[in-house]
């Protein structure tokens, strides 16, 4: 599979601008500039050979390996945006029982990562910033009686998959044709869906019945 990474317009220039006036330019990004769009596809596939598609009517919510089906307002927005873009590219929407060439599934993914960091390393880099004189304790030193800290990060994203039903093999294997990932601030907002799907398709010109 080939992979593409897409940063929204203005992100690079914004990064260059804020780097000169801030210690952490990432804190100055707008929600739009924080978003990253990634696509992968089967380079051996000829997408002109596919004419019809079906899209799931709900979204699989994958939360740290646990999967449930949901249909929130943002899910509906992504489903509609995908249908609209496929139709704009010349593909015909059919029912899942009408032998579609392509099956589309939208997934909302949450992943929580837990880890440990060494306070010794942290203190070497950052602890000296707060001199004890700042607190009115000249001549004092700092003592860190513990070594390790625990952190937890939860990341959310939308993952959109296209599966090849047209060429499903006799051993019941269905190949993944295309995948798009949308991550960053505000990706679960209804207003983000159309912009996000448009960005994924902008870097996928091969997704076209006549291209």
At 122-146, the pLDDT tens digits run: 667 666 677 778 778 888 777 777 7
Q: What is the 3-state secondary structure (H, E, C) of 107-139?
A: EEEEEEEEEEEEHHHHHHHHHHHCCHHHHCCCC
Nearest CA among 196, 192, 200, 183 for reference residue 73: 192
Q: Please tell me whether residue 209 adopts helix, strand or coil conformation.
A: coil
Q: Map tokens 């909302």 to a residue.
A: 108
Nearest CA among 107, 106, 109 for reference residue 63: 109
**Structural contact between residues 106 and 75, judged by C-beta atoms closer than 8 angstroms:** yes
At 148-197, the pLDDT tens digits run: 778 788 889 999 999 999 988 766 788 999 999 999 888 999 999 999 99
Q: Which domains does the chain have, with CATH numbers?
A: 2-202 (3.30.160.670)
* Nearest-angstrom CA–CA distance, 106 and 58: 8
Chain centroid, CA 148 distance in Å = 31
* Nearest-angstrom CA–CA distance, 117 and 88: 49
90: DSSP letter: T
Average pLDDT along the chain: 81
Say yes or no to pLDDT of 76 above 60: yes
* Nearest-angstrom CA–CA distance, 90 and 208: 6
Backbone φ and ψ for 52, nearest 5 degrees, come out as -125, 160
């Amino acid at each position: 599979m080939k992979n593409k990474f897409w940063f929204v317009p203005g992100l690079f220039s914004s990064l260059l601008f804020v780097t000169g006036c801030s210690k952490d330019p990432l804190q100055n990004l707008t929600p739009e500039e924080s978003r990253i769009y990634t696509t992968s596809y089967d380079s051996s596939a000829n997408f002109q050979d596919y004419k019809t598609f079906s899209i799931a009517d709900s979204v699989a919510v994958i939360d740290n390996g646990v999967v449930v089906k949901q249909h929130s307002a943002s899910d509906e927005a992504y489903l509609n945006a995908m249908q609209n873009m496929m139709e704009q590219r010349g593909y015909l929407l059919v029912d899942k029982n009408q032998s579609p060439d392509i099956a589309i599934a939208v997934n909302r993914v949450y992943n929580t990562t837990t880890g440990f960091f060494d306070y010794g390393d942290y203190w070497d880099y950052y602890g000296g910033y707060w001199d004890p004189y700042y607190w009115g304790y000249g001549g004092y030193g700092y003592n860190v009686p513990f070594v390790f800290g625990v952190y937890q990060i939860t990341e959310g994203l939308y993952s959109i998959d296209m599966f090849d039903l047209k060429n499903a093999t006799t051993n019941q294997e269905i190949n993944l044709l295309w995948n798009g990932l949308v991550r960053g601030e505000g990706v679960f907002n209804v207003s983000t869906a159309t912009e996000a799907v448009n960005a994924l398709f902008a870097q996928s010109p091969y997704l076209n019945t006549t291209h």
